[in-house]
Amino acid sequence: MIKAGIIGATGYAGAELVRLLLGHREVEIKWYGSRSYIDEKYASVYGNMFQLVEDTCLDDNIEELSRQVDVIFTATPQGFLAGVLNETILENARVVDLSADYRLKDVNVYEQWYKIKHRSPQFLEEAVYGLCEVNREKIRRARLVANPGCYTTCSILTAYPLVKEGLVAPNTLIVDAKSGTSGAGRGAKLPNLFCEVNENMKAYGVASHRHTPEIEEQLGYAAGEEIIISFTPHLAPMNRGILATEYASLKKIEQRDGTYAYPSYEQVKAVYDKYYQKEYFVRVLEQGGYPQTKWVEGSNFADIGFQIDERAGRIVMMGAIDNLVKGAAGQAVQNMNLMFGFEETEGLKMTPIFP
C-alpha cells in the first residue's frame, strides 16, 4: 500500500479524488491539503464524507508533505505547483498535477494563454502528458505527470485515431464542446449562479479558451505537424459532463481497386478499433450510436461515436466524458496506477450512474 497526499482536497476535483481513493485497495490518503479550510474537519466541508473521513484539513506545504507520502496530487489553480516545485519534492514523491502548469512544452505558449509567468520551466521537458491511452509507457516511468484538462481529454480522444492515421485534414478540425458547471470549480462566481445557469446555454472563451493550445499540441504530435483548430466551449445547465462534437474534412484514401474515395463507415470504425478496442475506458459505440453525458456520469469512461457526412466530405465525431472523473480525478488515479504498477483499472471500475 502506498500513501497519497492531496493538495486542493476541498475543490471539486480534489473531492472526487478523495471519493475514488477511498475505494482504492492500494492507497491510503495521508494528507488532505486545503488552504481555505486549515484545521477544519474534512467531513464538515463535504458532508458525504461523514464517518468516512475523520481527518482535518492541513495546509499546502508540499515539501513537508512530500516527506510523508509516495504520491502527491495537486488539484490547484494554475501557477501553484510551478511556483513551489523543486528537485527535493520530486526526489521524495511522485507528482500528478491536475493544473495546466506542465501540460504545454513551450513556456511562451503557457504564459501567453494563462497570463502568468511560469516559475519552474526547468521541469517542462521532464513532465509527461498524462493521457493514458496515448502515453502509457512514458507515464509508467514518470516522476511528474501533467494530468490533461477535461475539454482536452474528450476532444483529443475523440479525434486522435483519425488524425494519427491521416483520415482527416487536421487543420480543418472544429471542436464544439459543452461542459457542466462543475468544470469551473467550487469558487463563487457570478456566471455560475443558479439563476445564471439554469435553463440557459452559452458560449464562452470563444477563440480564446486556454485548452485550445493543449488540444493543438497533442493532436499536432499525432499528425506529425503543427495544427490550428477552432475550439468553442459552452456552459450547459448540468453538474457534470463534457460533450464534444467535432467536425473535420475527410481525406480520400486508396481503395482496393486503386481508386480514391472517402473512407467508409467500416474503414473509420476499423481505425478506432485499432486504437481503442483494448482500452477498457474508451467505448466506441455501435453504428448510429451517439454519446450522451448521462451514460458516462460518475465513471471513468469516454464514449465515442461518429457519423460520416458523405455529401459534405466531412466526418462528425462525438465524445462524452464525466469532466470530474475521466476529465480530472479519475484520469489522475489512472495515471497513478500506471506509475506504481497497479492494475490500471483499480479503483475506477465504477458503473456510470443513472438517473
Residue ranges of the domains in the chain?
Answer: 2-126, 151-323
CATH topology of domain 2-126: Rossmann fold (3.40.50)
pLDDT of residue 293: 98
Q: What is the pLDDT of residues 136-171, one digit of tens each?
A: 999 999 999 999 999 999 999 999 999 999 999 999
Place of cell 477563440: 207
The pLDDT-based confidence of 325 (bands split at 50, 70, 90) is very high
CB-CB neighbours of 133 under 10 Å = 20
Residue 176 pLDDT more than 80? yes
The tens digit of pLDDT for each residue in 178-204 reads: 999 999 888 878 888 899 999 999 999
**pLDDT tens digits, 215-225:** 999 999 999 99
Predicted confidence (pLDDT) at residue 337 exceeds the cutoff of 80: yes
pTM of the model: 0.97
Degrees to nearest 5, angle at CA 36 with 2 and 187: 105
Of the candidates 14, 22, 25, 18, which has an alpha carbon nearest to the alpha carbon of residue 337?
Answer: 25
| Residues with active-site annotation | 150
pLDDT of residue 145: 99
User: Has domain 151-323 been given CATH number 3.40.50.740?
Assistant: no
State pLDDT tens for residues 62-93.
999 999 999 999 999 999 999 999 999 999 99
pLDDT of residue 286: 97
Select from 254, 256, 313, 319 the least CA-distant residue to 283: 319
Average pLDDT of the chain, as a whole number: 97
Burial class, 285, CB count within 10 angstroms (exposed 0-12 / middle 13-18 / buried 19+): middle
Residue pLDDT, tens place only, 42-62: 999 999 999 999 999 999 899
